[in-house]
Chain A
Amino acid sequence: MHSFFGKQLPVAVAFFSGVLMIITFFSGDQTVADFSQEQLVWVTIVGGFSLLLGVASITRVSLSDVRKRRKGWPYKAVLLIFLVASSLGAIIEGTERGTLYDWLFQNMNAPMMSTMFSLLAFYIASAAYRAFRARTVEATILLITATIVMLGRVPLGELIYGKLPEITDWIMNYPNLSVQRGIIIGAALGAASMSLRIILGIERTYLGRQ
């Protein structure tokens, strides 16, 4: 029973649901298309529950830390208070403008989010100092390109050399585009082959430990 639910059934479910999606693309049949459309809604629902599982997991770990008075438990208590306030606010009152959920997002979450990201400006500067020391040819190319792109996107760059914005555009539209294209093609081929492995049951690591 354990082996059937834990191993055979999941592999079979992954196979049939994956194959159905592929058949839908090639088959012009309306019934198949409707069924796969319905299945996509099902995936959204089950996927939504998986996100809630993540929140339940954080709650469980934090509650355990608070109950056992582990190191840093007051911070976990703060985390739980804000998690509960935001969640209950959304469930009871809704998410529209003027609700508690919206207020918490506008006045606390959004400012903290942009500050967290802006903090990276300082670390990126120290990382640049270490990476940009032109020790090798590759590092020198990286340094020159980054400098041109940074200067080419601000008025100061145009003041230094009039054609800098044009050079920046050329870098973005040719060498940069070609690398992005190469990476997209490579990653897409990798993702397609990994998906095929999952559907055929060769790749089973997503099931966790057997």
Chain B
Amino acid sequence: MNHDIVLFLEMTLAGFLTLCIFSFLYKDNPFYRLAEHIFAGLSAGYYVGLIWHSVIMQQLWVPITQNGQYSLILPGLLGVLMFTRLVDRLSFLSRVSIAFVVGNTAGISIIQQLHGFVLPQLGDTMSRFGQEFWGPLIILIGVVSTLIYFYFSKEHKGALGITAKVGTVFIMVSFGAHFGYTVMGRVSLLIGRVQFLFVDWVHSFNKIIN
């Protein structure tokens, strides 16, 4: 088939699905629900493809069959045990696999959180005092007051209450800034989709006619 026609058909499919999703702005309707379920199916399938090739094949099957790394049979078995979750009577067996993943993640997390986040962030808060004064002071006040705002073990009264109030002001400034950024990001995505519908799609149609 002609390349332009194939391109037009592909764009028409993408355009149709785009309009189906935008139809939700009017109200929930069969077109939106169709696109929603196609999206859910494709997204799940996307992860199957990703896991199949990058984990099951690359890290399990190939090392066992080609490199003789038989110790990997054990995580393979733990992985298969996960599926006992689908059988009520045997679902308790999946807890061993879940505990293995959660335990390892917890062990890594303790080091990662303290060594990778808490200490460097505390260090950065103080280290800039040598170069300037007002900027790092604002940051220090912001960090301390934000932490106190989220400290709920004591009632926010007196000095703690005042600091928490200062924290609220800082938090509102930050949330406002993030809101502004999110709006900009979403609007630029919307512009992209509208451009696709009115420029790319129409252009591919014109190419066939001409």
Contact = CB atoms under 8 A, between A and B. Distances in A.
Contacts of B114: 188, 192
B159 interface: no
B111 A22 contact: yes
B49 to A, nearest CB: 3
Contacts of B108: 21, 40
Contact of B143 (A47, A109, A112, A178): A178
B77 to A, nearest CB: 10
Contacts of B139: 174, 177-178, 181
Nearest to B189: A118
B158 interface: no
Given A6-B92, A108-B14, A191 B98 contact: no
Which range contains the number of A residues in contact with the other chain? Answer: 35 or more
A10 B149 CA distance: 37
Contact of A184 (B37, B107, B121, B171): B121
Q: Which 9 A-B pairs have the closest CB atoms?
A: A178-B142, A86-B45, A90-B49, A21-B107, A182-B146, A145-B176, A49-B79, A14-B103, A82-B41
Nearest to B196: A111
A149 B96 contact: no
A156 interface: no
Contacts of B25: 119, 122
A171 B98 CA distance: 43
B107 A17 contact: yes
Interface string A28-58: 0000000000111111111111111111111
Interface in A151-210: 153-154, 171-186, 188-189, 191-192, 194-196, 198-199, 206-208
A41 B97 contact: no
B45 A104 contact: yes
A101 B49 CA distance: 8
Contacts of A104: 42, 45
Contacts of B85: 53, 57
Nearest to B80: A49
Contacts of B170: 175, 178-179, 182
Interface string B23-57: 01100000001111111111111111111111110
A50 to B, nearest CB: 5
Contact of B103 (A17, A54, A82, A83): A17
B177 A90 contact: no
Interface in B81-102: 82-83, 85-86, 91-93, 95-102
Contacts of B162: none
Interface string B128-155: 0000000100111111111101100000
A72 B36 CA distance: 12
Contact of A43 (B100, B122, B173): B100
A69 B56 CA distance: 34
A107 B42 CA distance: 11
Contacts of B140: 178
Interface string A73-90: 001101111111111011
B204 interface: no
Contact of A108 (B38, B86, B99, B192): B38
